[in-house]
């Protein structure tokens, strides 16, 4: 089982402008099971992106440890796929080359890389634009590429950092529904960071509320799948859960 | 009136003519001043004399030979400058230690202009190809290095992170992410480097040369042939235009412009 375990994780920065140490994450412990979809929600500045960057291995931890499948992580690696808020597609590579990048870095033969990339592009309805460059795509399409680029590498955990924050509201709903559909089909382990309470509840099995760098609450989301906005928007259970999470997020 | 507009429209549509069009008034003015007899013809020949001198120098084979000499010197020097400059720029851009060590030296030597090296180079290497090549490599190197460093630093950190979390090694990241990401600046560096290199070459040929366009012009001065000096100047301008428009701009169009890194080229 490829469980992701965070043990007493903390992160302290030295802020040269304030001339003092700032604590971004404090004593966070969390267990994410294989195939689980966990949302981390909190206000801006609560440390959620710092937490994700530590799991991704982009920044070192100050204290505690991160275990993936029982092994401590050391720097970034292909076992943890990342989807960025700014998409971070390679502008100089076609859509196909972007998605094939991970498999290619693993040393798979070219034909196999292309087959995998085309399969994942078909999964999000982008088979037609495989030969285009990212700049020629809409924001929603670009982030679909961002998601399948990470998935095509078959990571143990998919880390998503407010991935739908920079697309318009309608596109965002579509992308959220697509993500739950992909999760149902493939069951990747997902850690999804967002400030949007309804997004967190809509997507996840479990919502972790982060406040001032600490875990304030963990709330299970027993809503049935597949989930669709048309139904959930009027659903009493969804509304009640969202309200509950929102109250936690707003609590100081 | 309508006819004039139509003719103008025809010219404006043709790309080749469009690039020539701005020169038409200049040439016309030149011809008028030359024909007016304001200056002695020997000192101020008209376009017709320059064209006929062009014809005769091409016919004798002097111009093609000198042109080839100059262009080959520039190409060899520029290739060496790029081969040194791009890796050096990537190194300085990526490694803070290399940056700390090399940056002051780069700025120091950049300030000692190409021509300022000529006196000592003439003593060391004499009047020869080594001196000319050194000057060109030196001139091309700095704009390429400095712009490459700028380009490497301009690649967003999120691109490095994306590549790392997809399993790319450091070497692969340099090749697949840093170099293409730095491409707009590298092209600017190459363009500046070639431009400065071209000027440095002509200057070096005037002092050192036994052939080449710079030599042609300086030799013409000795013979008092203003026609050939003007011809040399025109060839310099034309050649640069051709290099930029036929080589650099198309490269930009299929790379950085297609990638959306810059919006318009040229």
- What is the rounded CA–CA span in Å between residue B103 and residue B99? 5
CA distance to partner chain A, nearest, from residue B257 (Å): 10
DSSP one-letter code for A127: G
- Tens digits of per-residue pLDDT, A154-196? 999 999 999 999 899 999 999 999 999 999 999 999 999 999 9
Is pLDDT above 90 for A54?
yes
The per-residue pLDDT for range B229-251, each reduced to its tens digit, is 999 999 988 888 888 888 888 88
Confidence category of residue A1, pLDDT binned at 50, 70, 90: low
Residue of A nearest to B160 (CA): A88
Over range B93-99, report the average pLDDT.
93
What is the mean pLDDT of the segment spanning A113-132?
95
Q: What is the CA radius of gyration of chain A?
A: 18
What is the pLDDT confidence band of residue B7, given thresholds at 50, 70 and 90?
A: low
What's the confidence (pLDDT) of residue B59?
Answer: 84
User: Which of residues B109 and B19 earns the better pLDDT score?
Assistant: B109
pTM of the predicted model as reported, rounded to 2 decimal places: 0.86
Q: For position B3, what pLDDT does the model report?
A: 72
Q: Is B11 helix (H, G, I), strand (E, B) or coil?
A: helix
What is the least distance, in Å, from the CA of A131 to any CA of chain B? 12
Predicted local confidence at residue A25, as pLDDT: 93
> Given a cut of 80, is residue B1 above it in pLDDT?
no
| Under 8 Å between Cβ of B145 and B108 | no
Helix (H) or strand (E) holding B125: helix B118-125
- The H or E element spanning position A215 is strand A214-220
d(CA B147, CA B106): 12
- Reference A151, options B59, B181, B166; nearest CA is B166
Which is higher by pLDDT, B259 or B20? B259
Backbone angles phi, psi at A225, to 5 degrees: -120, 160
pLDDT exceeds 70 at position B84: yes
**Cross-chain Cβ contact B165/A88 below 8 Å:** no
Q: Where in chain B is the domain with CATH 1.10.3720.10?
A: 47-257
Label residue B16 by pLDDT band (50, 70, 90).
Answer: low
B167 contacts A77? CB cut-off 8 A: yes
**What is the rounded distance in angstroms from the CA atom of residue A204 to the CA atom of residue A39?**
6
Do B165 and A80 count as a contact with CB atoms less than 8 A apart?
A: yes
- Determine the Cα–Cα distance for residues A72 and A5; give it in Å rounded to an integer: 9
C-alpha A57/C-alpha B226 separation (Å) is 69
Angle, CA A93 vertex, CA A92 and CA A98 arms, to 5°: 140
Give which of A242, A243, A151, A144 is closest to A202, Cα–Cα. Answer: A242
Q: Region B186-199: what's the mean pLDDT?
A: 90
Contact between A91 and B172 using a beta-carbon 8 Å cutoff: no
Return the higher-pLDDT residue of B207 and B11. Answer: B207
Q: Are A241 and A227 in contact (CB under 8 A)?
A: no
Interchain pair A76, B260: CB under 8 A: no
Tens digits of residue pLDDT in A69-120: 989 998 999 999 999 999 999 999 999 999 999 999 999 999 999 999 999 9
pLDDT(A232) > 70: yes
**For residue A212, is pLDDT > 60?**
yes
Q: How far apart are CA B88 and CA B70, in angstroms?
A: 26
**Residue in A57, A68, A73, A76 to test binding to B, most B beta-carbons within 10 Å:** A76
Q: Which of B158, B161, B164, B165 to mutate to test the interface with A (most CBs of A within 10 A)?
A: B165
Asked whether the beta carbons of A81 and B164 are under 8 A apart, the reply is no
- Which among B169, B173, B181, B159 has a CA at the least distance from the CA of A78? B169
ipTM score over 0.90, yes or no: yes
- Residue B264 confidence class, pLDDT cut points 50, 70, 90: low
Q: Where are the beta strands (DSSP E) in A99-211?
A: 157-161, 189-194, 206-211
CB count within 10 Å of CB B18 equals 11
Higher pLDDT pick, B129 / A25: A25
Mean pLDDT within B145-171: 95
Name the percent of chain B lying above pLDDT 70.
94
Residue in chain B nearest A79 by alpha carbon: B165
- pLDDT of B165 > 90? The answer is yes
Percent of chain A at pLDDT exceeding 90: 87
Which residues does chain B have within 8 Å of residue A49's beta carbon, measured at their own beta carbons?
A: none
Sign, Cα dihedral of B19, B22, B28, B29: negative
**pLDDT at residue B137 is higher than 80:** yes
Please give the Cα distance from B4 to B162 (Å, whole number). 58
Mean pLDDT value across chain A: 94
pLDDT tops 90 at residue B160:
yes
Angstrom distances, CA of residue A52 to CA of A99, A157, B231: 22, 11, 66
Assign B15 a pLDDT band (cuts: 50, 70, 90). low
In angstroms, what separates the C-alpha of A97 from chain B's closest C-alpha? 11
For residue B10, what pLDDT is reported? 65
Residue entry with tokens 């936690």: A248
Among A123-132, A146-155, A227-236, B249-258, whose mean pLDDT is lowest?
B249-258
B158-187 average pLDDT score: 95
Start-to-end CA distance of chain B, whole Å, equals 33
> Residue B126 — left, alpha, or beta (φ > 0 → left; ψ -120 to 50 → alpha)?
left
| Cα B39 to Cα A231, B47, B228, distances in angstroms | 90, 14, 17
Write the residue in A84, A92, A149 that is nearest to B158 by C-beta.
A84
- How far apart, in whole angstroms, are the C-alpha atoms of residue A160 and residue A183? 13
pLDDT of residue B252: 85
| Count, residues in chain A | 252
Question: B47-257 belongs to which homologous superfamily?
Answer: MetI-like (1.10.3720.10)
d(CA A172, CA A51): 23
pLDDT of B12 strictly over 70? no
Residue A42's Cβ-count burial label (10 Å; 0-12, 13-18, 19+) is buried
Chain A residues with CB-CB distance to B181 below 8 A: 92
How buried is residue A144: exposed, middle or buried, by Cβ count under 10 Å (0-12/13-18/19+)?
A: buried
Q: Residue A20: pLDDT band by 50, 70, 90 thresholds?
A: confident
Most A CBs within 10 Å, among B159, B166, B259, to test the A interface: B166
């Amino acid at each position: 089982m490829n469980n992701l375990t965070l043990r007493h994780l903390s992160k302290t920065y030295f802020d040269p402008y304030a001339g003092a140490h700032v604590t971004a994450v404090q004593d966070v412990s969390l267990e994410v099971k294989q195939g689980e979809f966990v949302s981390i929600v909190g206000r801006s500045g609560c440390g959620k992106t710092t937490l994700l960057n530590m799991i991704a291995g982009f920044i070192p931890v100050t204290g505690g440890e991160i275990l993936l499948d029982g092994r401590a992580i050391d720097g970034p690696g292909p076992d943890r796929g990342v989807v960025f808020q700014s998409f971070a597609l390679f502008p100089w590579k076609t859509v196909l080359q972007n998605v094939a990048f991970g498999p290619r870095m693993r040393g798979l033969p070219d034909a196999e890389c292309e087959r995998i990339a085309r399969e994942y592009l078909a999964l999000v309805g982008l088979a037609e634009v495989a030969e285009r460059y990212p700049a020629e795509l809409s924001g929603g399409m670009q982030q679909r590429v961002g998601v399948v680029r990470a998935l095509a590498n078959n990571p143990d955990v998919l880390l998503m950092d407010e991935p739908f924050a920079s697309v318009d509201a309608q596109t965002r709903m579509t992308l959220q529904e697509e993500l739950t559909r992909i999760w149902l089909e493939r069951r990747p382990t997902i850690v999804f960071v967002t400030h949007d309470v309804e997004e967190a509840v809509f997507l996840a099995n479990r919502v972790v509320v982060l406040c001032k760098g600490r875990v304030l609450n963990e709330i299970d989301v027993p809503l049935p799948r597949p989930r669709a906005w048309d139904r959930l928007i009027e659903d009493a259970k969804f509304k009640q859960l969202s309200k509950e999470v929102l109250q936690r997020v707003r609590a100081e | 009136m309508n006819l004039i507009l139509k003719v103008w429209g025809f010219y404006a549509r043709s790309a080749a003519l469009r690039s020539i069009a701005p020169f038409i008034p200049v040439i016309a003015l030149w011809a008028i001043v030359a024909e007016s007899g304001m200056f002695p013809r020997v000192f101020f020949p008209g376009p017709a004399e320059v064209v006929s001198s062009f014809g005769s120098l091409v016919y004798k084979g002097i111009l093609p030979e000198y042109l080839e000499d100059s262009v080959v010197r520039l190409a060899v020097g520029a290739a060496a400058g790029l081969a040194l400059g791009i890796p050096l720029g990537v190194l300085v851009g990526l490694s803070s230690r290399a940056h700390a060590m090399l940056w002051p030296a780069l700025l120091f030597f950049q300030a000692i202009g190409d021509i300022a090296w000529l006196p000592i180079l003439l003593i060391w290497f004499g009047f020869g190809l080594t001196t000319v090549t050194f000057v060109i490599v030196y001139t091309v190197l700095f704009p390429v290095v400095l712009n490459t460093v700028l380009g490497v630093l301009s690649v967003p950190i999120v691109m490095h992170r994306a590549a790392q979390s997809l399993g790319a090694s450091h070497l692969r990241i340099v090749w697949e992410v840093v170099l293409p990401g730095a491409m707009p600046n590298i092209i600017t560096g190459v363009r500046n480097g070639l431009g400065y290199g071209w000027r440095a070459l002509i200057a070096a040929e005037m002092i050192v040369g036994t052939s080449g366009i710079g030599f042609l012009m300086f030799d013409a001065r000795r013979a008092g042939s203003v026609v050939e000096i003007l011809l040399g100047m025109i060839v310099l301008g034309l050649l640069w235009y051709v290099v930029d428009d036929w080589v650099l701009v198309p490269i930009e169009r299929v790379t950085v412009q297609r990638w959306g890194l810059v919006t318009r080229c040229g």
